[in-house]
Amino acid sequence: MASETTTEARTAAQELTGAILGRRDARTDRGRRTSPQDHPRASAVGVCAREVYHQITDWQLRPQPDTTLLHRFQRGNEVESIVVRELLADGFYVHNYLDEQITFEIRENLPEELQSHRDSYDSFIICRGHMDGRITWGDDKPVFEVKSLNPNVWGRIESVRDFFSMGSFWVKYPRQMLLYLYQAAEPFGLFILDDCLGHWKILPVVFDDFLDECEDALRTCRKAAIAARTGAPPPYHDDPTVCLECWARDVGVCSPPLDFTPAKFIELHGASINDDIWTTELNKAERAAFNESDKRIKDTMKLYGPGMYVAGDWLIKCEQKRNGFFVTWKRIGGSGDGPSEETPPAES
């Protein structure tokens, strides 16, 4: 009788677990939204103007986040609400947040390329977005942007400059902030970074420290916005490693030449690195074998030093950073079959 009760309890617990997770996934999936994009979005201005152009012209082909990622986004929204609640509780006036997020757009005079496309307007929109909020502070109303980060990533970021050195995905964060500051004509803004465990880091962004970076972001928006109106895509990005990570290449709307020229990448002939990377990728689940080949890769690449390398099927990036020597790799021309194309940074 006792064991029967235990069996029933296990079954009931399993059913309840399945029901909780299933309903959560279904609810999250119901919240999935896709909408056409007419202009570059401040939150998605990466390093390639052509990619921003495809966000507009091929928005419906852009891969949708899976349910796990949607859960993560939801948690990010909740962290944002918590941060704002705490600011309000501590007596700060958080501008407009409770009514709505603050929408904005950046307009410029109609450029020559669009004169023949001109309708009744003299200006055109190069960027749209919405800010998380602004805090009244003396005569300023600095923009703030809340980002919830994986604790491992959170621990690695000490300044806004770190975002620029972490790869094309992370560059979107400071670019987004600089576009806000440019539009709002504010001298500074704040990133409030939460590690999802309640720890905060606040990174000030002083506009004058990033004028070149802001001009880069504006240039990207301008090129993409003009291209979306004329239908002529901007040139390919000149760094093929950026293209390896790009959804536009994955879905086939952009086919850059992926020219890994020797001037930029050092080809390692006869090195065993190619085999070691394959071994590492294939043994990710088996810790011992993984550690052995992973260590061999790091030891060898340390001898070569910082730089970009091609070894067989792999493109390898070695970087000397404040906190160590990092080796990352991607499979060249990977099509999604075979082992994963990207590894997290490995420190030795």
Rule CB under 6 A: is residue 330 a binding residue for ligand SF4? Answer: no
DSSP 34: -
Q: Angle 149-155-158 (CA atoms, 0-180°, nearest 5)?
A: 100
Of 183-242, binders to ligand SF4 (CB under 6 A) are 236-237, 242
Rule CB under 6 A: is residue 127 a binding residue for ligand SF4? Answer: no
Question: Residue 66 or residue 259: which is nearer to ligand SF4 going by CB?
Answer: 259
Which residue from 271, 142, 145 is spatially nearest to 202, judged by alpha carbons?
145
Q: How far is CA 210 from each of CA 174, 200, 207, 214, rounded to the nearest angstrom? A: 9, 23, 6, 6
Adjacent-strand bridge partners of 2: none
Question: Residue 48 or residue 225: which is nearer to ligand SF4 going by CB?
Answer: 48
**Only segment of 11-19, 43-51, 103-111, 177-185 that touches ligand SF4 (CB under 6 A):** 43-51
Question: Residue 146 or residue 253: which is nearer to ligand SF4 going by CB?
Answer: 253
Rule CB under 6 A: is residue 246 a binding residue for ligand SF4? Answer: yes
Rule CB under 6 A: is residue 254 a binding residue for ligand SF4? Answer: yes
Helix, strand and coil in the chain, % to nearest 5: 45, 20, 35
The correct pick among 41, 147, 249, 317 for binding ligand SF4 (CB under 6 A) is 249
Question: Residue 254 or residue 268: which is nearer to ligand SF4 going by CB?
Answer: 254
Question: Residue 48 or residue 83: which is nearer to ligand SF4 going by CB?
Answer: 48
Which residue from 50, 42, 167 is spatially nearest to 105, judged by alpha carbons?
42
Q: What is the phi-psi region of residue 252: left when phi exceeds 0, alpha when psi lies from -120 to 50, beta otherwise?
A: left
Rule CB under 6 A: is residue 51 a binding residue for ligand SF4? Answer: yes
DSSP 258: -
DSSP 111: P
Q: How far is the CB of 249 from ligand SF4 (least distance, A)?
A: 4
The correct pick among 131, 149, 225, 243 for binding ligand SF4 (CB under 6 A) is 243
Which residue from 48, 28, 21 is spatially nearest to 237, judged by alpha carbons?
48
The correct pick among 193, 256, 260, 273 for binding ligand SF4 (CB under 6 A) is 256
Q: How far apart are CA 44 and CA 308, in angstroms?
A: 27
Q: How far is the CB of 49 from ligand SF4 (least distance, A)?
A: 8
Q: With contact defined as beta carbons under 8 Å apart, do 191 and 157 qualify?
A: no
Rule CB under 6 A: is residue 40 a binding residue for ligand SF4? Answer: no
Of 54-113, binders to ligand SF4 (CB under 6 A) are 54
Rule CB under 6 A: is residue 50 a binding residue for ligand SF4? Answer: yes
How does strand 324-331 pair with strand 200-206?
unpaired
Question: Residue 58 or residue 186: which is nearer to ligand SF4 going by CB?
Answer: 58
Q: How far is CA 107 from each of CA 40, 102, 104, 114, 128, rounded to the nearest angstrom? A: 12, 16, 10, 14, 9
Q: Give the interface with ligand SF4 as residue ranges (CB under 6 A).
A: 48, 50-51, 54, 236-237, 242-243, 246, 248-249, 254, 256
